[in-house]
Structure formats: structure tokens, C-alpha cells
Amino acid sequence: MHIVLVGAHPDDESIASGTIAKHVDRGHRATIVVATRGGRGHWEMEPETLMELRSEEMRRAAEVLGADLVFMDHPDASVPGGDKLREELVDTVRRLKPDVLLSFHPLVWRDDHRRVGLAASDASLKASLPLHVTGYPAHRPAPEVYFFGRPMTPIEPDVYARRSGSMSASGSGGAHPRRSRRATCTRQPSGTWSGSGSWAGRPTSGTPRPSSRKAADDTPTTFFPQTADLKRFNGEPLRVNG
């Protein structure tokens, strides 16, 4: 089984990092697709410096999780909507041939996340249509699509991912150990950047970034907990190619 996660920014994969690590441990393949390199998410750092830092963090995180990594190189906070992004992702889906695709729910608050989630979902179906001609052959069957994130309006999902222990980033309560290690790959806590490669008052080594979001298991409207077995709500296994 090939799991592809499509996110907008480096660190978006942390929402499902335990799930990725769990299924890689079981012998499955995982790829993380990131739409931007995150160059506009800081109040003081120059975009080029920030993009270099976050790209390296993302590479380290993918290595920890055992996943391949693809950057799409769109500008942060300006991910294109509509046909452009969808058609890029059609080719991405056809090239990677996922069995399962994870991405943001199309009704989450942030625009980059919304656009990526909608385009990824639409591309998953469109990539399966043989008469939609691109540089790659159609990928059939279309992958199973799972959303994560908190929609702007309450929605009752029709597919759930079964929880497997708590999702503490500290590693307590049954979190996947590589999810905890992945947290140490990010060095951008919400503090004051010293300009010398470390955060004021914080050691550079071993200091994970404080989470900017609640763990998915603490969010009732989240569709996808960070560590989950990919099964339908009735316990049936997912369909996979072959």
C-alpha cells in the first residue's frame, strides 16, 4: 500500500506523522507532498533563510518517518487555487500511484490548506480518468481519500480512522516513537529568534517546536487522528491496488 500525504507547508505532515510511521513499519510505502517551502511564516526572518530552514526540517522529518518527499515549490501563503494546482496534483497522483491519499478537509480555515485539500481530493478522481490526457497514464482505481483538520462548520464524517493510543508528542500514552522523534526535527518555536541559529533562552539541540494546534484526538471534529489504522468505520480494510 502506498500512502501519500498532500500538505501545504513543511510540518503539515505532523498531523498524521504517527500514522505514516506505523504503516511504514508494516512494510507500506509513504510519500509526503508539500505545496510550499513555508517562506512567510515568521515575523523577523528573511523568507529565503526561512525557506532553507524549513526545507531542511522537512527533509529530516521525512527521513525519520521513513517517507519519500516531494516539494511543489509554490509560494507560501499564495498557493494557487482552481485548475492550476489541481492539474499539477493530477500528474502527481498519476506519477506516485497512491492507494490512500491524506490531505486537509476542503473547509478548514486557512486558505492554503483549503486549496490544497480541495485540489488533492479533486485530482484523486480526475487522475483515474483515461480520457483526461496529461503526460502520465491514468491511475486506477482512484485512491481512498481521508481528510484531516477542523472544518469551519461542523460535519459528521462517514469514515473514521480507528484510534490507537493517545497522540502525545512527548511519546507518552502510546504515541508512535518516530512521531516523537519527528517533533525534534522542527526548530521554530513561537519565541524570539536570536539571529544566530537558535531561539533566545532555548537550546538549539533537542528542542521541539511547541505545537500550534491541538492533537487531533483532542479535537472532536477532526477526521483523522495522528496515529491511526487505516480502516473504514465498520472495520473493513481499505481497498488497495492489486
pLDDT at residue 123 tops 90: yes
pLDDT per position as a tens digit, 169-205? 333 345 667 766 766 676 544 333 333 333 333 233 3
Domain of residue 34, residue span: 2-181+214-229
Spatial contact of 128 and 138, defined as CB atoms under 8 Å apart: yes
- When the pLDDT of each residue in the chain is averaged and rounded to a whole number, the result is 77
Which one is predicted more confidently, 207 or 239?
Answer: 239
pLDDT at residue 48 tops 50: yes
| Confidence at residue 179, expressed as pLDDT on a 0 to 100 scale | 66
pTM: 0.72
Cα–Cα distances in angstroms (integers) from residue 74 to residues 31, 78, 115, in the given order: 18, 7, 12
Tell me, yes or no, whether 174 lies in a domain: yes
Q: What is the dihedral of CA 18, 20, 21, 27, to 10 degrees?
A: 150
State mean pLDDT over 224-231.
52
Query: For the domain that residue 160 is a member of, what is the CATH number?
Result: 3.40.50.10320
Tell me, yes or no, whether 54 lies in a domain: yes
**Into how many domains does the chain fold?**
1
| Confidence at residue 173, expressed as pLDDT on a 0 to 100 scale | 43
